[in-house]
C-alpha cells in the first residue's frame, strides 16, 4: 500500500499537463527561431580571439572607417567565450541546442515561481503562455541567453524568501531556507561577466529589500503584525539588505572592476543605440509578440482590479518598474514577462478559482513524454526533416553550411565570393558586417552591430547611403569603392545604382548584391 502511494505521488497530475503543454509549445517555437546575422557572429569571433590569445580585446580591430586601436569595451567577454567553446565542441547545432535548453530552463523557473504563488497549474500555464509569447522576439542566440536562467533563478529565490510568512504548509511549498539567498552573490560574479543585464539582478534584490521593508513597517505601524503575519521580521529584512550588499560587491569581480558601471551607463545612454536601433524603441502593437505584450497589460490590470487583496509593496514595485522598463524598449519585454506574469497568476487566483483535483495516473506520464517528442525533433540535428510550411523554409538556409536555421539574410554565398575576390574599401549592410567579422575578418567593414563603437554622424550617413540619398557624395567622402548591399533592406540604393554608370554589379544572389566603381 505504501509503495502504491509513493508511486502515485510521482505520476504527473492531469492539471499539470496544462503547464507541460505550454512549456513544450514554447520549446518548439524557440527551437525554430532563425539565426539572424546581427548579434551572433561578431560575438563568436570575439570568443575565438579570447580563447586563442588568452586576452580580452579592447579595441575596434575590424572596421576600416575607424582607427584599429579605437577603444571598445567587450563587456560580455565571458558570454562570448562560452559561445565559442560550445561552438568549438559541437558547431552551430550545439550552440542552438544550448540556447534552447537555457530558455526552457528559464521559463520552467518562471512557471515554478507562478505555481508557488497561485497554486493553480491552469493559471501557471496562462502566465507562462503570456511570458513566453511576448518574449519570442528576444530569444535569438547572443550572450544574453546566459542571463535568462540567472534572472529567473534570482526571481524564484527572492519570491520564495519574501513569501515564507504567508505560504500555507497545506499547499505543499518547501520550508523557508534563508541561506539559499547566499547563492545570489556568486551567481552575480558569473552574471556580471556574461552580459550587461546583470544590473537587473541588482534591481531585483533592491526591489525586494525595499518592498519587504515597507511591508514590515506598514504592518507594525498599523498593528497588523499580530493579526496578519504576512511580513518578514526585521532581522530577515536586514538579511535581505545584507545579501543585496554582497551581491553588489560581487559585481566588482570583472576585468573592469568599478568601471563596469560606467560601461553599462554609457551603453544605456548611447545616442545611436537609443535613437536608431529598433529593439531599443518602445514596443508598438504590431507583430505577434508585441500584441501578446499589450494583452498581458490588459489582463494584469483586470486581475489587479478584481483581486481580493491589494498588491504587496514588493509586487507593486515589480509591476510598475518592469512595465516601465518594457515600455521604454522592446529588448526589455522579456524581463517584464518573467517578472510580472507570476504576479498576474497570483492576482488571477484571488479573482477566480481554476484549481482542479490533482488526479494522478501513469497515462499522464506517457502524455508528458509524448509532448517532448516534437521539441526533440525540432532540435538542430533533426529539424530539417520536419514537414514545416515552405514559407518558413524560405526564411532560412537549408541543406548548406552553416545551416541549420541560419537566416537567409546571412550572406553566406556572397562572403565566399569575397573570399575569392578580396579587396576594396567596402560599404556593407550592418548585419553583413557581423558575419564578415566571423567568416572573413581580413575584409574590414564599414559598420557592424557594435553600434556604440561608431559616431552618430556615421550612422546617419549609413542610413542616407542605404536610402540612395546623396550616396555618391557620401561614398566618395569615405573613399568607398565597393558595396555589399541587401536587396530587401537597401532596395532604394540598389535601384539608384542600376541607373548609375559610375557603378557596376559584380555579384548577385537572391538576397545580396556586390557592386564596384566602374573603371
Residues 357-403: pLDDT tens digits? 566 667 777 888 888 999 999 999 999 999 999 999 999 988 877 87
For position 519, what pLDDT does the model report? 83
Q: What angle do CA 396, 397, 401 make, to 5 degrees?
A: 145
For position 168, what pLDDT does the model report? 44
Would strands 512-517 and 482-486 be described as parallel, antiparallel, or unpaired? Answer: antiparallel
Least confident of 5-9, 94-98, 188-192, 495-499: 5-9
Q: Is pLDDT of 448 > 90?
A: yes
Q: Does residue 264 contact residue 199 with C-beta atoms inside 8 Å?
A: yes
Least confident of 54-68, 389-403, 441-455: 389-403
The pLDDT > 90 percentage for the chain reads: 77
The full 3-state SS of 402-421, as one line of letters, equals CCCCEECCCCHHHHHHHHHC
| Nearest partner of 300 among 353, 341, 349, judged by Cα | 341
CA dihedral (434, 436, 438, 444) positive or negative? negative
Q: Tens of pLDDT along 290-341?
A: 999 999 999 999 999 988 888 999 999 999 999 999 999 999 999 999 999 9
Confidence band of 177 (pLDDT split at 50, 70, 90): confident
Q: State how far the Cα of 135 lies from the Cα of 327, in Å rounded to an integer.
A: 14
For position 357, what pLDDT does the model report? 59
Q: State how far the Cα of 46 lies from the Cα of 48, in Å rounded to an integer.
A: 5
For position 291, what pLDDT does the model report? 95
Q: Tens of pLDDT along 4-58?
A: 444 456 676 777 888 999 999 999 999 999 999 999 999 999 999 999 999 999 9
Query: The whole model's pTM is what?
Result: 0.93
Helix or strand (DSSP H, E) at 486: strand 482-486
Q: Is pLDDT of 175 > 60?
A: no
User: What mean pLDDT do residues 161-181 have?
Assistant: 64
The full 3-state SS of 27-46, as one line of letters, equals HHHHHCCCECCCCCHHHHHH
| Nearest partner of 248 among 238, 258, 263, 256, judged by Cα | 258
User: What mean pLDDT do residues 252-280 have?
Assistant: 91
Q: Does residue 389 contact residue 39 with C-beta atoms inside 8 Å?
A: no
Q: What is the residue extent of each domain of the chain?
A: 2-32+73-351, 412-517
For position 292, what pLDDT does the model report? 96
For position 207, what pLDDT does the model report? 98
For position 356, what pLDDT does the model report? 58
Least confident of 79-93, 394-408, 426-440, 445-459: 394-408
Q: State how far the Cα of 194 lies from the Cα of 145, in Å rounded to an integer.
A: 9
When the pLDDT of each residue in the chain is averaged and rounded to a whole number, the result is 91
Amino acid at each position: 500500500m505504501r509503495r502504491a502511494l509513493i508511486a502515485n505521488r510521482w505520476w504527473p497530475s492531469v492539471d499539470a499537463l496544462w503547464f507541460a503543454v505550454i512549456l513544450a509549445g514554447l520549446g518548439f517555437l524557440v527551437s525554430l527561431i532563425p539565426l539572424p546575422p546581427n548579434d551572433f557572429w561578431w560575438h563568436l569571433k570575439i570568443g575565438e580571439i579570447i580563447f586563442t590569445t588568452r586576452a580580452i580585446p579592447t579595441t575596434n580591430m575590424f572596421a576600416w572607417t575607424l582607427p584599429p586601436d579605437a577603444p571598445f569595451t567587450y563587456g560580455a567577454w565571458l558570454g562570448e567565450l562560452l559561445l565559442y567553446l560550445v561552438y568549438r565542441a559541437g558547431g552551430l547545432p550545439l550552440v542552438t541546442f544550448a540556447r534552447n535548453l537555457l530558455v526552457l530552463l528559464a521559463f520552467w523557473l518562471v512557471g515554478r515561481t507562478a505555481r508557488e504563488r497561485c497554486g493553480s497549474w491552469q493559471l501557471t500555464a496562462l502566465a507562462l503562455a503570456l511570458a513566453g509569447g511576448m518574449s519570442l522576439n528576444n530569444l535569438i542566440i547572443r550572450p544574453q541567453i546566459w542571463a535568462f536562467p540567472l534572472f529567473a533563478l534570482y526571481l524564484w529565490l527572492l519570491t520564495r524568501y519574501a513569501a515564507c510568512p504567508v505560504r500555507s504548509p497545506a499547499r505543499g511549498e518547501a520550508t523557508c531556507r534563508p541561506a539559499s539567498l547566499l547563492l545570489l552573490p556568486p551567481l552575480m560574479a558569473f552574471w556580471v561577466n556574461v552580459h550587461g543585464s546583470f544590473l537587473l539582478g541588482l534591481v531585483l534584490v533592491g526591489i525586494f529589500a525595499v518592498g519587504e521593508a515597507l511591508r514590515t513597517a506598514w504592518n507594525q505601524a498599523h498593528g497588523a503584525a499580530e493579526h496578519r503575519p504576512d511580513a518578514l521580521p526585521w532581522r530577515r529584512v536586514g538579511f535581505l539588505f545584507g545579501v543585496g550588499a554582497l551581491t553588489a560587491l560581487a559585481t566588482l569581480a570583472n576585468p573592469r572592476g568599478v568601471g563596469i558601471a560606467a560601461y553599462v551607463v554609457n551603453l544605456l545612454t548611447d545616442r545611436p543605440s537609443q535613437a536608431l536601433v529598433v529593439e531599443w524603441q518602445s514596443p508598438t502593437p504590431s507583430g505577434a509578440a508585441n500584441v501578446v505584450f499589450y494583452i498581458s497589460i490588459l489582463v494584469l490590470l483586470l486581475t489587479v482590479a478584481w483581486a481580493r487583496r491589494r498588491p504587496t509593496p514588493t509586487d507593486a514595485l515589480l509591476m510598475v518598474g518592469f512595465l516601465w522598463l518594457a515600455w521604454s524598449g522592446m529588448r526589455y519585454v522579456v524581463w517584464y514577462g518573467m517578472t510580472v506574469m507570476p504576479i498576474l497568476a497570483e492576482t488571477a487566483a484571488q479573482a477566480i478559482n481554476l484549481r482542479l483535483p490533482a488526479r494522478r495516473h501513469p497515462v499522464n506520464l506517457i502524455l508528458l513524454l509524448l509532448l517532448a517528442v516534437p521539441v526533440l525533433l525540432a532540435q538542430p540535428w533533426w529539424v530539417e526533416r520536419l514537414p514545416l510550411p515552405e514559407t518558413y523554409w524560405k526564411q532560412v538556409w537549408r541543406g548548406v553550411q552553416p545551416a541549420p536555421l541560419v537566416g537567409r539574410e546571412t550572406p553566406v554565398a556572397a562572403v565566399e565570393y569575397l573570399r575569392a575576390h578580396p579587396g576594396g574599401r567596402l560599404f556593407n549592410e550592418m548585419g553583413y558586417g557581423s558575419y564578415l567579422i566571423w567568416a572573413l575578418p581580413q575584409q574590414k567593414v564599414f559598420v557592424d552591430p557594435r553600434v556604440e563603437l561608431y559616431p552618430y554622424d556615421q550612422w546617419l550617413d549609413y542610413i542616407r547611403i542605404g536610402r540612395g540619398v546623396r550616396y555618391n557624395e557620401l561614398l566618395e567622402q569615405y573613399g568607398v569603392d565597393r558595396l555589399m548591399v541587401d536587396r530587401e533592406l537597401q532596395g532604394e540604393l540598389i535601384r539608384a545604382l542600376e541607373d548609375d554608370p559610375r557603378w557596376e554589379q559584380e555579384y548577385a544572389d537572391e538576397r545580396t548584391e556586390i557592386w564596384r566603381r566602374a573603371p
